[in-house]
Structure 1
Amino acid sequence: MNLSRRPEMFLFLLAAAMPVSFGVWQALLNNFAIERASFGGVEIGILQSLREIPGFLAFGAVLLLVLMREQTLALTSMLLLGIGTAVTGFFPSEIGLYCTTVLMSLGFHYYETINQSLSLQWFDKDEAAHKLGQLVAIRSFSSLVAFGLIWLALDVLNIEMEIVYLLGGGITIAITLFCWTVFPRIPEKVEQHKKLILRKRYWLYYALTFMGGARRQIFVVFAGFLMVEKFGFSAGEISIMFLANGALNMILAPKIGKLIGHWGERKALTLEYIGLIIVFSAYAFVSNPWIAVGLYIADHLLFSMAIAQKTYLQKIADPKDMASTAGVAFSINHVAAVVLPAAYGLLWMISPAAVFLTGAAMGGVSLVLARLIPSVPEPGREVVWKTGAAAPQ
């Protein structure tokens, strides 16, 4: 079999490579920052803010297409992710961790931007949802392997964190170099615009993306925090919960993709947002730790249905707009990441329940937006109002 003739294999291999580095970086960060770099709350807060800046500036990936092809940019970004992770352990200082974090994050966010663009270009519309589900499953499997290797290295083999960082980044670098060799040049179906483009007719996609980013920040920052603060979960128990999430996503994400292809984006996103309203509302008042675990896992499964946002864009957009729109959307998605954690940290001190209830309210706004998606989206029919008529162009 000639792998170079199968563009999806390129995306599948990179999907496997990314979580190895990011999983290692994420799993070791707090311990390494405290034990090696003597971080406190202020320093870790600054680091997390710096980590989000490349996501907010993801639109810059489009401008780089003047210098290189999307395939090359994806590989270069993955190398930056691998290198940033590999060298983290060798810079155990405040400035060192800030610099390696920005390098790692730059690679991660630019890869994610180009990955979305290439996926929507290379996957046929009738199978895109299923293929995107397969990408989620591959990432979940790779994350499981990464977490397993971290446990083996630290708890069984007593390998230092510095070496684990090096191994995690090195594996990502090796897979990336393999892809660079095996896939020398995959033909572009459509040449992409190399400038930033905001189109009025994509407004619903932009709105869904913004609301998704805002709502996701609330869950990512505070759901796990609740598990520790309110229910006293240990790091080991949190890790087991992550593993359960990964295992279920690996099994169910391709099936969710098929379901989206069968139902269509409107029904799929409607189900997701109704589910999220229930999950966030329940999180505000949950008192049983096992119910909280169930809610946490349910949220991750529902989040897989966000694939429908991408396939909605694929169906309504000009094929030349994929790269530009992916960059703009990633930046829109990260607007909330710059503002919400600090603002909701203050709200958390007053009322943790209020944090999750506002998340439920955001889910309600997303639900209203989802109902504006046509049952069969296409160019010229991006939005339908309650009368059933398409929005004027």
Structure 2
Amino acid sequence: MKTVHLEDAGALPPWRRPIALLFLTALAMPIAFSTWSALLNNFVIEVADFDGADIGLLHSVREIPGFFAVGVIALLLLIREQVLGLVSLALLGAATAVTAWFPSLYGILTITMLSSIGFHYYETVNQSLQLQWIEKNRAPQMLGWLAAAGSAATLVIYVLIVLLWDRLGLSYNAVYLATGGLTVAIALFCLLAYPQFETPNPQRRRIVLRKRYWLYYALQFLAGARRQIFVVFAGFMMVERFGFEVHEVTALFLINLVANMIFAPLMGRAVYRFGERNALIFEYAGLALVFFAYGGIYMFGWGVVLASALYVVDHLLFALALALKTYFQKIADPKDIAPTAAVAFTINHIAAVFLPVLLGLLWLVSPAAVFGLAAAIALCSLGLALLIPRHPAPGNETRLAAITPAPAE
């Protein structure tokens, strides 16, 4: 496979440049993953008779590969980062394609583990390549557009599900096969059609833990815990409490996608204009309010309209998480990006391994308490976000750090 230095990539046709590859994979990943997510709650309840404890166990198993994302560093000794990302993307698609072939608790757990390995290793590498290939001054806007591209791809899939699920009597197997297979096809095309892009800063092939990145690590840990509660229980609530069917859940996802396509680029511009600190403060304060309101739905019987609106707002606020990526890009040694992406993914998933199954048990007793815990985690994140400086840089990683030259590493 041909190798092209990043600074020479401008001579390639536009469709073969690094940014084009990032956009194409941004389209491919959610075709499989978002379809899996949209059908999951109905699939496991209707086919495998899951309850809250089962769904918590499933998501704990799904997050185990994320906890071991640091293993990417070892794989990079054997395989190029770009190739590893595309192979992982193909694994995600293949596992998604055959999900409906395993309609039992243990079968779903097994195939979920395989798809999760593909998803988490792809995401680890993808985040690393984004920060290596996109210039710092363009990163917030470009990350916003990449998020919008992923939403656009999923939008097409969800529209088809909403329009055709009942009309054509679609099955879980048919939808999983089609979307997972399409992701595999795109991944294989990318492997064959694009050269290997060499960055000017070769990445370290060992675990990197730096004291000066401590705030980034802490925010990643809390983000992982908070995200799990939303991913596992917000959608489950819509099915269990309000009786949403497949086309109704997908319609809600569809609204999220349209909103994300519109607002993700605007949020990227907002991060560029107002800075990572202000963006993350706004995100975490908003999420705390949303999770408190989720709890109120169970405690005070607030209705389905409010629950649906909160679900959309919640999803939009998560789009501001791109500010955490650009914060790290600004404070990092350029050679640390790949290993730190792997370490950060592992830190992000520490809580994810045990939290869903424990909160699944708590859910059986008090769903409101689950969302109350999420609100508390969001408030902790808010407190840490206040420590981000207005202009983060090496030597100025937090407001507690003196503005000094970055240490030699």
Local SS of the residue matching 1:378: coil
Which deviates further from its counterpart, 282-291 or 251-260? 282-291
| 1:149-207 Cα deviation digits (max 9, x unpaired) | 33455433334433332221221111112212221222223211111111111000000
Say whether 1:180 aligns with 2:191.
yes
CA contact (8 A) 1:121 1:322 kept: yes
CA contact (8 A) 1:4 1:184 kept: no
* 1:77 alignment partner in structure 2: 88
Say whether 1:374 aligns with 2:385.
no
CA contact (8 A) 2:96 2:180 kept: yes
Q: Distance in 1 between matches of 2:98 and 2:279?
A: 41
The residue correspondences of 1:285-304 to structure 2 (distance < 5 A) are 285-286=296-297, 287-304=302-319
Q: Distance in 2 between matches of 1:143 and 1:254?
A: 16
CA contact (8 A) 1:4 1:186 kept: no
Say whether 1:277 aligns with 2:267.
no
* 2:9 alignment partner in structure 1: none
Aligned equivalent of 1:309, options 299, 324, 339: 324
Q: Distance in 1 between matches of 2:162 and 2:126?
A: 29
* 1:20 alignment partner in structure 2: 31
CA contact (8 A) 1:154 1:161 kept: no
* 2:157 alignment partner in structure 1: 146
Q: Distance in 1 between matches of 2:103 and 2:310?
A: 36
Q: Distance in 2 between matches of 1:380 and 1:45?
A: 41
Aligned equivalent of 1:204, options 208, 215, 232: 215
CA contact (8 A) 1:87 1:166 kept: yes
Q: Distance in 2 between matches of 1:225 and 1:32?
A: 12
- The alpha-carbon distance between structure 1 residues 351 and 163, as it changes in their structure 2 partners (threshold 3 A), is closer
CA contact (8 A) 2:149 2:261 kept: yes
Q: Distance in 2 between matches of 1:237 and 1:155?
A: 11
- The alpha-carbon distance between structure 1 residues 25 and 67, as it changes in their structure 2 partners (threshold 3 A), is same
Alpha-carbon distance, 1:365 to partner: 1.1
Q: Distance in 1 between matches of 2:227 and 2:46?
A: 29
Structure 1: gaps of 5 or more residues:
none
Say whether 1:331 aligns with 2:346.
yes
CA contact (8 A) 2:63 2:349 kept: yes
Q: Distance in 1 between matches of 2:238 and 2:259?
A: 20
Which deviates further from its counterpart, 119-128 or 353-362? 353-362
Local SS of the residue matching 1:155: coil
Say whether 1:9 aligns with 2:24.
no
CA contact (8 A) 1:120 1:314 kept: yes
Q: Distance in 2 between matches of 1:93 and 1:326?
A: 34
Alpha-carbon distance, 1:354 to partner: 2.6
Alpha-carbon distance, 1:34 to partner: 5.9
Aligned equivalent of 2:249, options 228, 235, 238: 238
Alpha-carbon distance, 1:345 to partner: 2.9
The one-letter code sitting in structure 2 at the alignment partner of 1:330 is F
CA contact (8 A) 2:90 2:118 kept: yes
Local SS of the residue matching 1:63: helix
Alpha-carbon distance, 1:255 to partner: 0.7
* 1:344 alignment partner in structure 2: 359
Alpha-carbon distance, 1:15 to partner: 0.7
- The alpha-carbon distance between structure 1 residues 372 and 390, as it changes in their structure 2 partners (threshold 3 A), is farther
Alpha-carbon distance, 1:236 to partner: 3.2
The one-letter code sitting in structure 1 at the alignment partner of 2:193 is V
| TM-score relative to the length of structure 1 | 0.91
* 2:279 alignment partner in structure 1: 268
| TM-score relative to the length of structure 2 | 0.88
The one-letter code sitting in structure 1 at the alignment partner of 2:284 is Y
Q: Identical aligned pairs, as a percentage?
A: 54
Q: Distance in 2 between matches of 1:238 and 1:62?
A: 37
- The alpha-carbon distance between structure 1 residues 283 and 46, as it changes in their structure 2 partners (threshold 3 A), is closer
Local SS of the residue matching 2:137: coil
Which deviates further from its counterpart, 308-317 or 228-237? 228-237
Q: Distance in 1 between matches of 2:203 and 2:382?
A: 32
